């Protein structure tokens, strides 16, 4: 309630910045309505010389209110024109700085300096503002590939009651927490300072989103991976158990242990490969979805699409039951054609042998070893 007038807000910010500049390790200090990676608000606008659009089709852009040193503190390069100065106050003509995406979207990379736009800000009379500078794009939202048009307004022309401080320091910024609170208390002892964190910590918080949600999502993903591996293990073990009699006959009639083992592993690998192919096809759209949810999460790494299927397919080659059965039925005779062995051991020789009269596992072309 003490800072209702714009002049009061301006004086408070100037006094606060002057005190903070005296901190030993502070290099550049600025104020801003929103910090990079925190997601500024948006504003509708109109470009002078272009027809006015209906309310539901008006142009919009991200909007940030910053002090003159903001671009230096945030390391945002100036491409053309100038940034704000101390003379861009309430008595001076209104000016704005836009990013490169704003210029590209509205003028196709033509010269934007000197053009005028009007921002529809709540509680303010719309006025035409001149574009005096163009700065590089900054990713402000969680989706890595997305860059929105953005407009920067000078804080001295639109002072706010709530803002963020940005300090570029020679030491750890978090070590300045007590000094920051002391400086704010000297200006106004009743004014709270919400939190103090470094820019990497801010980006990490934006990147991780809700930590509890991330932990729950990761736990369910790990559980799904374990269940998939157990399911494949159980399915293949059951299939081998159903073929115990067949394996015994193959081994008794001369099939070699490595051949039977290779046959079983190959059949299991085929089953797993089909599932992995379907899973990979369904996983391709996921990176774009999760990029929008978690800043900096890289799901397009090729090794992910190799390691995860290998982790699921590992049970195919680690089933001890198959190796035990294959060893148990090791033949004491030398290798010979399996089908011939079966036919020579027939007890009813007067009945002619046909392909359909053979057991199903002997009707395959790959049955003889």
How does pLDDT run across 333-364, given as a tens digit for each residue? 344 455 555 555 554 444 444 445 555 555 55
Dihedral angle of Cα 123, 125, 128, 130, to the nearest 10 degrees: -50
What's the whole-number average pLDDT of the chain?
A: 75
Which spans in the chain are helix H? 6-20, 70-73, 100-107, 177-187, 199-208, 211-242, 244-252, 257-283, 286-291, 304-313, 320-328, 338-344
What pLDDT shows up at residue 355?
A: 47
| CA–CA dist 157, 154 (Å, integer) | 6
What pLDDT shows up at residue 346?
A: 52
How does pLDDT run across 195-226, given as a tens digit for each residue? 777 777 776 666 655 566 767 877 888 898 88
| CA–CA dist 351, 166 (Å, integer) | 95
Q: Of 63-77, 112-126, 325-339, which gets the smallest average pLDDT?
A: 325-339
- Phi, psi (deg, nearest 5) at residue 228: -65, -45
Question: What is the pLDDT averaged over residues 294-314?
Answer: 64
Binned at pLDDT 50, 70 and 90, residue 39 comes out as low
Question: What is the pLDDT averaged over residues 57-80?
Answer: 90
Binned at pLDDT 50, 70 and 90, residue 325 comes out as very low
Dihedral angle of Cα 122, 149, 103, 59, to the nearest 10 degrees: -50
Count of helices and strands (H, E) across the chain: 12, 9
């Amino acid at each position: 309630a003490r800072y209702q007038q714009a002049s009061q807000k301006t004086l408070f910010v100037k006094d606060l910045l002057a005190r903070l500049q005296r901190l030993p390790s502070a290099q550049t200090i600025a104020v801003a309505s929103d910090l990079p990676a925190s997601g500024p608000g948006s504003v509708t606008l109109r470009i002078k010389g272009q027809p006015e659009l209906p309310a539901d089709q008006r142009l919009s852009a991200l909007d940030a209110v910053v002090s003159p040193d903001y671009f230096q503190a945030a390391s945002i390069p100036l491409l053309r024109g100038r940034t704000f100065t101390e003379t861009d106050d309430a008595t001076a003509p209104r000016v704005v700085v836009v990013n490169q995406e704003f210029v590209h979207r509205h003028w196709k990379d033509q010269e934007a300096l000197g053009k005028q736009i009007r921002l529809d800000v709540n509680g303010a009379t719309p006025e035409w503002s001149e574009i005096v500078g163009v700065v590089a794009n900054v990713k402000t939202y969680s989706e890595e590939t997305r860059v929105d048009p953005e407009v920067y307004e000078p804080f001295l022309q639109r002072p706010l009651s709530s803002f963020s401080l940005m300090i570029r320091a020679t030491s750890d910024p978090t070590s300045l927490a007590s000094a920051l609170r002391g400086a704010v208390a000297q200006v106004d002892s009743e004014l709270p300072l919400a939190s103090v964190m470094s820019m990497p910590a801010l980006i990490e918080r934006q990147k991780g989103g809700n930590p509890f949600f991330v932990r729950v999502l990761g736990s369910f993903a790990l559980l799904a991976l374990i269940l998939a591996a157990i399911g494949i293990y159980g399915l293949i073990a059951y299939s081998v158990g159903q073929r115990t009699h067949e394996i015994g006959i193959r081994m008794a009639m001369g099939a070699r242990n490595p051949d039977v083992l290779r046959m079983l592993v190959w059949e299991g690998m085929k089953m797993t490969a089909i599932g992995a192919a379907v899973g990979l096809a369904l996983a391709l759209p996921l990176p774009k979805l999760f990029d929008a949810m978690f800043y900096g999460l890289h799901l397009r790494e090729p090794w992910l699409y190799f390691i995860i299927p290998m982790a699921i397919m590992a049970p195919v080659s680690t089933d001890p039951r198959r190796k035990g059965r294959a060893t148990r039925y090791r033949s004491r005779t030398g290798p010979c054609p399996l089908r011939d062995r079966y036919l020579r051991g027939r007890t009813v020789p007067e009945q002619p042998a046909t392909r359909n009269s053979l057991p199903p596992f002997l009707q395959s072309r790959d049955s003889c070893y």
